[in-house]
Amino acid sequence: MSRIVVEGRRRLEGSISVQTAKNGVLPVLAATILNSGVTVIEKCPKLTDVDVAISVLEGLGCRVHWEGDSLIVDTSTATGTAISCELMHKMRSSVIFLGSLLARMGRADICLPGGCELGARPIDIHVSALEKMGAKFTSEDEIISCVVTRRTACELVLPKPSVGATENIMLFAVSCKGTTRIINAAKEPEIADLQDYLNALGFRVKGAGSPVIEIQGKGELPATYVRHRPIPDRIAAATWLCAGAITGGTVELRSARPEHMKAILDALKESGSSIYVQGDRITLIGPPRPKAIRRLTTAPFPGFPTDAQPLFFALAAVADGRTFIEETMFENRFSFGPDLARMGAGVFIRGKFAAIDGTTKLTGQPVVAKDLRGGAALVLAGLAAEGQTIVDQAELIDRGYEHIVNTLSLLGASVWRD
């Protein structure tokens, strides 16, 4: 168990570079299986979720090593088809290895990802799309086995624009001769990043970022050397901006992609921050006290991201007025609410709705991170609180933030590991 201690009430000020996107690098790591060669992932973030993905790749027979901040993945030696239950439980998104294993090996044996800290998180959309393309699923106890009986390029209409299902379909479709069209595909920037990597491998994929993605499958997989640098992390970027806003500070982000963050930047402006964008730099000047945002509703991209919702919940905890939040993606995404209430905010939660009455008097408390972004929200609240906030189970925060303590210290926060 690891703990992060925050001594609050310091105005943050400084300039930092944004880490590479966790949700960008994980599907690319899964996609490396499609290549019987070597992929160099530049500026690969050192996250515990990346460590889990490396263990998955090694378990499948790949050779993986770091050279500075590049991750070198040699997938020429891959022969395995199984991902252990232990690894699947550590990271539910290991399910995105399904598509590339089916494409390369014709088979995948994974453990039912089941529920996670955010809620049920079913994979029915993944399964029904892959079945339509020719995969056959059987399950026994916790294990799902999936075998390719045919490889049929086809048109798939998703009932919801699921990020993971869109990725799994793209990964399998490259091995199906002909054109696969995904209608109502996820439009997140990480999907476009995956498209870029697949095209660098020699596949022909277009449309990512729009609701229709077209994959021209070749029926054969490459053996090549490719370098890829995934996009910056828009949720980590949102975290540092919220840290500036919650402390009335000034934060400059370098190497950001403001075009991926419109809904986040609009929400920060609504809460009284001034935002200046110049190329890949974003500067935030926080107000003396944030204003309540009238209503925040999470939605698929380009809507307000569910992963940033906890961060803005923390901002609402100090804002002037009442903020309403509707969480439409995951049913258990207010786990930090009771901790924020103990710190002094007015928090009312009913199902997928929350109302937050901000206070100028948050006080530090021992709190417990229940999930990655909820944990980050508690750290943010600690930055604004009087006294010490001790965030337990901080290892959950390390799933998605590279050196969170160092980054906040660079901005002048008083924060350390216990």
Contact 253, 240 (CB under 8 A): yes
Please identify, using beta-carbon distances, which residue of 163 and 381 lies nearer to ligand UD1: 163
Instruction: Give me the DSSP letters along 186-224.
Output: ---HHHHHHHHHHHHTT-EEE-BTBSEEEEEE-SS----
Minimum separation from the CB atom of position 304 to ligand UD1 (A): 11
Minimum separation from the CB atom of position 328 to ligand UD1 (A): 8
Please identify, using beta-carbon distances, which residue of 167 and 252 lies nearer to ligand UD1: 167
Minimum separation from the CB atom of position 103 to ligand UD1 (A): 18
CA 39, CA 33: separation in Å to the nearest integer? 10
Among 44, 62, 85, 116, the one annotated catalytic? 116
Cα separations in angstroms, 310 against 56, 307, 333: 29, 7, 8
Residues 6 or more apart whose CB falls under 8 angstroms from that of 293 comprise 267, 270, 271, 312, 316, 319, 323
Which residues would be at the binding site for ligand UD1 (CB under 6 A)? 23, 26, 93, 121-126, 160, 162-165, 186, 190, 306-307, 329-330
- What is the SS3 assignment for 319? coil
Contact 35, 100 (CB under 8 A): no
**116 is a catalytic site residue:** yes
Residue nearest to ligand UD1 (CB): 164
Minimum separation from the CB atom of position 68 to ligand UD1 (A): 25
Please identify, using beta-carbon distances, which residue of 12 and 369 lies nearer to ligand UD1: 369
Residues 6 or more apart whose CB falls under 8 angstroms from that of 62 comprise 32, 33, 73, 74, 75, 77, 78
Please identify, using beta-carbon distances, which residue of 20 and 389 lies nearer to ligand UD1: 20
Look at phi and psi of residue 410 and say left if phi exceeds 0, alpha if psi is from -120 to 50, else beta.
alpha
Minimum separation from the CB atom of position 352 to ligand UD1 (A): 11
Please identify, using beta-carbon distances, which residue of 162 and 389 lies nearer to ligand UD1: 162
Active-site amino acid positions: 116
